[in-house]
Every structure is written in structure tokens, then in C-alpha cells.
Amino acid sequence: MMATAENHWHGSGPTTPQSQSRSLWLLGWLALTAVANPAHAVDGVVLIDQNRALAGNVTPGDAPGFPVTLTLSGSYRLSGNLTVPDANTSAIVVAADVTGVTVDLNGFTISGPTVCGGFPIVCSPLGSGIGVSAPNGARAITVRNGTIVGMGTSAVQLLSSLNTVDNISAISNGQVGIFASLATVTNNRALKNGFNGLLVGNSVVMHNLAVQNGGAGIGGNDNLIVNNTLTVNALVGVAAANSAFSGNQFSSNNGGAANPQFSGRGPIGPNGCDGSVCP
Amino acid sequence: MSPERVGEIVGCCRATAAAVAWALAAATAVAVPVTLHAAPVTIAFSGAVTSDPYGLSMVGAPISGSYTFDTAAPDAVPGSSIGSYRSTGLAYGFDALVDGTFYSTPGAVTVNVANNIGSDQYGVIGSFGDLTLELFLEDFSQTALADDALPAGAPLLAAFGVRSFRLFGSDAEFLGSVDRLACTAGCSAAGLPEPGTLLLVALAGLLWCGGRGRGTTLAVQR
């Protein structure tokens, strides 16, 4: 590689019109083909890791560095951990006009610098960073199978419709663990986030665990909330206006078992409060 | 103090002054080509396969290769904690030999550097068609790198706890360890001390010489 470089850069090799033409053709071919193509796994899923995130062009228009911007529908899978540099930086952002994206964290972790601790919980530094976000207009977004820790705002924020969040551990994020609308939110764990563990609207929320969050375990409007476990959250376990819930287990939320464990519309079925059926 | 001793000191100071002049000239000579001119540098590496999910080889099979980048490649990421340096052209690329099979991503290579983002990271990635070659080093003690500047030579491998090689293709996938990393071409600039280090040496020499000079004057007056 070096010899080729020196010949071209210093003109030390024999140069003919034919070789010049061949070099120009080769340069053009490389320019067309040697752009940083997104890496695909054998199954065709686009792989993302720290190297690819920083290099850019995971999808067309994705600039080097964070966030990784997904401008095409499809399946994406982490092949390594991602680390953002500060609390104001997001890791993965789905572009506003994209429908149908699956981001599989594949057991890996997206991490930022925010740390939450103490009682009541205080998070620092706060910022605008989100682990995986999709704005209004980006629909049918799925995020699953991994951990998102220390983001300035939220682990997951999906603002449009037909979304799915499954098997995500949202830990020590500045405000909300998982923020989703018109979504199916299942099998997630929200621990020590600055405000609500889950903030959801018009969603089905099942089999989640919310522990020691700075707000409610689960908050939001117009949800079906079933079979979740809400423990030692600073406010009530479930604060869900116009929602129906049953089968949830509440323990020591809102300052202790003597205080209300949930608010909003009455339950449609039995829930457990500190080992007994909730009143 | 004897006149001979004074002469030794003066001669020493002349020698120090010459060394200072050399250091300043060397610092200038190093700084100018590194910062103003493209300088292809080739880093070679070797290691072993640690994961072969598609059974094309076997765990422990040898990996070797090299990547060539431009020390003058611009940083595409604003800010002081992350740098991404893409070198494009025929001189640049990433090659790897995995258990006897050659893989190459010619025409471009990107070196990524991250400093104090929870870890220090040094990554290299080359892509061509469906093939991606990667090298990734990570130090969770955050002492391996001083900033997000592009290292002109090979980073100190021992400073990184995570040392991995990755290959992803349409019909192949390997993960591997990296146990050797060395600059093999274009290393002259990378092998010299940084200009700032040379300037510090020069300044120390001047201070030492000045201190010895004052001592000589006092000794003569007595």
C-alpha cells in the first residue's frame, strides 16, 4: 500500500497515458464503491457499534459521531456497546419520516454520563440525550433486548404510534426511563431514573418492573396496565389517569405502604399492595 | 572554582545551547509536516480468532493485518472528546489475513478516537461492499489517550484493556483478539517525541544552563 502511495504522490514510478487513465478509472471506481457502507450481519441486519457510530453513514445522511441517525426502514442490531460523550448527546435517532424500524440492542448497553442516586433521587448531569428516540412521524418503532444507562433525559423516547419497547433495562437516566405513546411496553425494568420509570400514553403496559424511580413507577393516560411490579418509587406506583389496571404488585411506593399506592381510574381487577389485596 | 571548571561549565552550556537549538529545529521540523502535509502511516497488528459463529475457521486461528491512514485527515466530529478521521485515496485502507484468507477494504479507512467518555477508545474501521474490518481498543481507566487527536503512530496496546478485531461480511464473521500493534511504515514522525515534549526539553536545558551560569559567576567573585 505504501509503495502505491509513494508512486502516486511523488511520481517516482513510470507514468504513461495508459497508466494515468487506469489510475483515474480506479480512483473513480473507488469513489463510487469505497464509501463507508453500512455493515450487515450475515442475516442482512445492519450492525451498529461504537466504531460505526463514530465513522458515520450507518444509513445515508448519518453524520460521523453521535447520534446515529437511521433514515431507512429496517432492522438494526448492536454488535457492541455504545457510549455517548455527554448528557446532551443521543445515541440513536430515527428520522422523522421513517416507518418500520427495529433496534435490537442484542444484549449490549448504551451508556451516558448521568448518575442518579440519593433519596429523593437526584440525577447529574441532566441534559437532552436519549438512548433511542423517534420523534413524531416516525412510526412502528421497536426497541428491545438491552440496557440503556446514564442518558441525560431518557433511555427510550418514542413519540408517534405503533411502537414496541420490550426487554429494556432503563437505569439511572436523568428524567424518564421509558417514554412511549401508542405502544406495547413489556418486560422492561426501570431503575433509579430521575422521574417516572415509565411514562406511557394509550399503551398496553405489561410485566414491567419499576423500582426506586424519582416519580411514579408508571405514569400517563389511557393505558391498560397489567401484571407490573412497582416498588419503592418516590410517588405512587401507578399514576395513570383514565387507565385500567389489574394484577399489579405495589410495594412501599409514595413514602410507604400506609400511603396511596396508585391514582387514576379504579382498578378493573385485583392488585396487590405489600402482600395483600389492595383496598 | 578553577578556570578549567569554569571552562567546562561554559562549554557545557554551549553544548546545551546547541542541543536546545537542535530541539527547537526538530520540534519545528516535526510539527510542520505532521500538521500541514498528508503523511501515510501504516500500522500492523496480529492476534487470534476468538469467535467464529459461522464455522469458517476455528478459535485460536491467527489473524494479522494492517491499516494505512493519513495523519492529516480532518476531524469530522466537533468537540473535544471524540474525533473521527477518515482517510480516502488509493494509499489508504485496511487489510486482514484471517487463518490464511485475505480480506481487504481499500480506498478509505476511518480512525476514531474518544477521550474520557467513560472510557478512552481507539477504533479503526474500513468498509468495502459488504465487508467491514474493525479494530477496537478501549481503556476504562481513561488514561490511555490524552485527547481526541489522531495519534500519528500506533497507540500503546498495553494501555487498553479491550483489544478486539472484528470482521463482518456477507458470508463471514469473525471476532478476534489483538496482541500486537506496531507502526511499520511512515513512522518517522510518529517515532519522535511530540513537538511540545521537545520544547519542554529545550526549556529545561535553558533553565539548567542559566542556573549553572549564575553559580559560576558567584564562584568567580569569591
DSSP string, A205-216: EES-EEES-SS-
Average of pLDDT values for A69-98? 96
Cβ contact A37–B86 (<8 Å): no
Chain A residues in contact with B38 by the CB 8 A cut-off are 9
pLDDT in tens, A173-205: 999 999 999 999 999 999 999 999 999 999 999
Report the percent of chain A where pLDDT is more than 70.
84
pLDDT beyond 70 at A161: yes
Q: What pLDDT shows up at residue A152?
A: 98
DSSP A201-245: ES-EEES-EEES-SS-SEEEES-EEES-EEES-SS-SEEEET-EE
User: According to the model, what pLDDT value does residue A247 have?
Assistant: 94
Contact B117 A35 (CB under 8 A): no
Residues in chain B: 222
pLDDT band at residue A36, thresholds of 50, 70 and 90?
A: low
pLDDT over 90, % of chain A: 76
Using CB atoms, which residue from A35, A42, A55 is nearest to B171? A42
Handedness of CA B33, B36, B37, B40 (dihedral sign): positive
| CA pair distance B39, A134, nearest whole angstrom | 41
Cβ–Cβ gap B136/A50 under 8 Å = yes
Is the pLDDT assigned to residue A268 strictly greater than 90?
no
3-state DSSP assignment of residue A248: coil
Q: How far apart are the first and last CA of chain A?
A: 76
What is the ipTM for the molecules in this complex?
A: 0.78
Three-state DSSP state, A2: helix
pTM value is: 0.78
C-alpha B85/C-alpha B83 separation (Å) is 6
CB contact under 8 Å between A39 and B128, yes or no, is no
Question: Tens digit of pLDDT for each residue in B106-146?
Answer: 999 999 999 999 999 999 999 999 899 999 999 999 999 99
What pLDDT sits at residue B155? Answer: 96
Does position B2 have pLDDT exceeding 90, yes or no?
no
Number of A:B CB contacts under 8 A?
Answer: 139
A64 Cα to chain B: minimum distance (Å): 6
B39 to chain A, minimum CA–CA distance in Å? 10
> How far, in Å, CA of A15 to CA of A172, rounded?
62
Find the mean pLDDT for residues B63-70.
98
| Cβ partners under 8 Å of residue B130, min gap 6 | A37, A40, B169, B170
Cβ–Cβ under 8 Å, residues A237 and A248: yes
Q: Which of A211-220, A236-245, B106-115 has the lowest mean pLDDT?
A: A236-245
B217: helix, coil or strand? helix
* A55/B112 Cβ within 8 A: yes
Contact A200, A220 (CB under 8 A): yes
Contact A1 B93 (CB under 8 A): yes
Whether pLDDT at A42 is above 80:
no
Lowest mean pLDDT among A37-51, A69-83, A225-239, B186-200: B186-200
In angstroms, what CA-CA distances link B120 with A83, B161, B166?
10, 10, 19
Confidence of residue A242 (pLDDT cuts 50, 70, 90): confident
Residue B108 pLDDT: 97
